[in-house]
Amino acid sequence: MKSFKKISLMMLIAAFMIIAAACGSDSSSDKDSGGGKDSRELSGSISVSGSSAMQPLIAAAAEEFMAENPKVDIQVNAGGSGTGLSQVAEGSVQIGNSDVFAEEKEGIPADKLVDHKVAVVGMTAAVNPKVGIDDIKKEDLIKVFTGKITNWKELGGKDQKIVLVNRPDSSGTRAVFNHFALDGATPAEGITEDSSNTVKKIINETEGAIGYLAFSYFTDDSVTPLSIDGVKPTAENVQSGKFPVWAYQHSYTKGEAEGLTKAFLDYLMSDDIQNTLLKEQGYLPVTKMKVERDAEGNQKNI
């Protein structure tokens, strides 16, 4: 009888150990883990759409994220900020990328969306190197783009007619430049081109030309970036709030992000992405900003 009791007790202990081991080795998908660093493995798929300017950045981050999490699939499509905001609002994608605040797009239920600011882009006016200036007062910049100043000699440059290179009305870059560089003024007619690479090429090849570009396009001396009111267009000056022309890059979700969506957005805010990939893609880390803006453009120190 004693040996029977002893055997029964040993069987109960063994069964308990097996159950405990099974609970401790659970490798199911963790809906709340971030960046694939958790002991549990991420899996599933999400779709992202929106800003064409943001697509290379988000696609590159998605590739790195999927390499770390082989059971994850992230589809990244463009289509423009309006498309991204519309699709995330209707629930057909999990993340909608936008160059502008949702409140700035007509017909978007901004109150249903949650804004995740994942990067910052700085931009400034750029001129043909033969123009002969590298700094301009903001009031003069507005006069140039509204056609009130038509020759560079009026600003101490070459005796050369000013040629404006604009972006189309739908451009997020144009919206940011008009708001923060031109104080909302409407530019005069000029050459209109949507591609930043083409804008840079036109400015370089056209004497007297002026347009505007993100900082990431100033990689050589083919165009001259302009300081504004003596403030140079640098990452440090944007981050400190000294240079005025910049904007967030937004990744919107419908309601609070959860599961794999949250894990990917957390990954975008990680040091690896903010301090490495963003800079490689020509963006500024949002985590280094010392100022912040709201949808109305009001800026304050953080």
Smallest Cα–Cα separation from 235: which of 270, 274, 183, 273?
Answer: 274
Check residue 36 and give its pLDDT: 42
Check residue 80 and give its pLDDT: 86
Residue 192: exposed, middle, or buried by beta-carbon count in 10 A (0-12, 13-18, 19+)? middle
Check residue 170 and give its pLDDT: 74
Check residue 169 and give its pLDDT: 83
Check residue 160 and give its pLDDT: 97
pLDDT digits (tens, 9 = 90+) for 64-90: 999 999 999 999 999 888 899 999 999
d(CA 151, CA 30): 62
Mean pLDDT by 10 residues, the chain (302 residues): 45 44 37 47 96 91 97 94 95 95 94 98 97 98 98 97 92 88 95 91 98 93 98 97 97 98 98 94 95 94 94
